[in-house]
Amino acid sequence: MRPMSGAPGPRPAARGPGPRRRPTGAGEGLRSPVRPNGAGFLRRATWPQVRDSLSKRDERAYVMATLCRPAVAVPEHVITMQQTLDLARSIHADHPQLALALRLMENTGVRKRHLLRPIEETLKHPGFEARNAVYEAESKARVPAVIRQALEDAELRAQDIDVIIYVSCTGFMMPSLTAWLINTMGFRTDTRQIPIAQLGCAAGGAAINRAHDFCTAYPEANALIVACEFCSLCYQPTDLEVGNLLSNGLFGDGLAAAVMRGRGGTGISLERNGSYLVPQTEEWIAYDIKDTGFHFKLDKRVPGTMEPLAPALKELAGQHGWDASDLDFYIIHAGGPRILDDLSKFLGVPPEAFRFSRATLTEYGNIASAVVLDALRRLFDEGSAEHEARGLLAGFGPGITAEMSLGRWTISDQS
């Protein structure tokens, strides 16, 4: 029996052997930055190193975990932007800033969103207790399917997973859903649990980074990432702030799962990750916690945050010897079109570079922590990435926080 602490021990074999990794260039990918919030420098931690037995030169290959194809699901009920605008005109006909709210909704670029409940039920508020009970029941009903698909895509079984990282900001459970998953889906009882509840939309990027950290510490390990967001359960009919009205037309429901393999797999082999917090912005995206539940707060300055965040992305890439303006793919959290437009300008990349994020926003709305996983799923589906293509992933959320990572596209049957 494997001990409860220390490095993960042997697991049942996956379906098929993992590929041999191509060694990186000498001196490439040597260090992973951890950015202290608000500081102007990076502390560096050395990567685990292994000797390349196939090379006659004194070079080193660096262990990199691979983020495999995400599985994504959205609920069956759909609301279009036109329906959203009509509802806002009907419900808030006397609101003094209705015209502004409608204009902001139209400018989101969202065409439709998916909801957990029919719109008639969504507009009702039975109380926080009842809503949270719906969150628990629906997460248990819907999450297992995306996990099974993610495991199948990664060619692993539940027993092969060493840590489950569960992210959500739209409901609360204790113990976390991770305990229920371990008890019901065949995960080992020594599987680590990392629930993340308070990073909002940035949590998808944070989950990827924490999975990367875990697989760096334990190179033979596999991590499962799960994002479950039912934003419609946070609808507050009595909250008439313009930012809250905008959120009613922006956020959608969705869930996703993805496996990060310590060895093998097709996807993004991560080489570096980092975080950055824009100083003195912790109140710009927030929840007010009231008897009626979570009340979303959105400062009007949020759309302008790419100006201070773009340099953080550039610095992370620069520390890795890459140019953030000259990469092959970008997987970015889509908080709104202004975010993507500004990032395109400040990074100096064409708008087409963010086509996956824009597609998520258009078809699903902002599905919070699940956005980056859905955008990555679209890259897989497009099939345009070539072996060793370089890319950037980033999630943005409360703090204002950026969770960023760099990696190369790896095709499992190439060595």
Q: Which residues are catalytic?
A: 201
- The count of C-alpha atoms lying within 13 angstroms of the C-alpha of 205, restricted to the half-sphere facing its C-beta, is 27
**Alpha-carbon separation of residue 167 from 206, 227, 230, 382, 414 (angstroms):** 9, 5, 12, 26, 33
CA distance 202 to 369: 6
CA distance 202 to 368: 8
**Alpha-carbon separation of residue 357 from 64, 81, 183 (angstroms):** 25, 18, 34
- The count of C-alpha atoms lying within 13 angstroms of the C-alpha of 44, restricted to the half-sphere facing its C-beta, is 9
Q: What is the dihedral of CA 203, 207, 208, 213, to 10 degrees?
A: 130
The contacts of residue 413 (CB under 8 Å, 6+ apart) are: 19
Could you tell me which residues are beta bridge partners of residue 402? 276, 396
| DSSP state at residue 251 | B
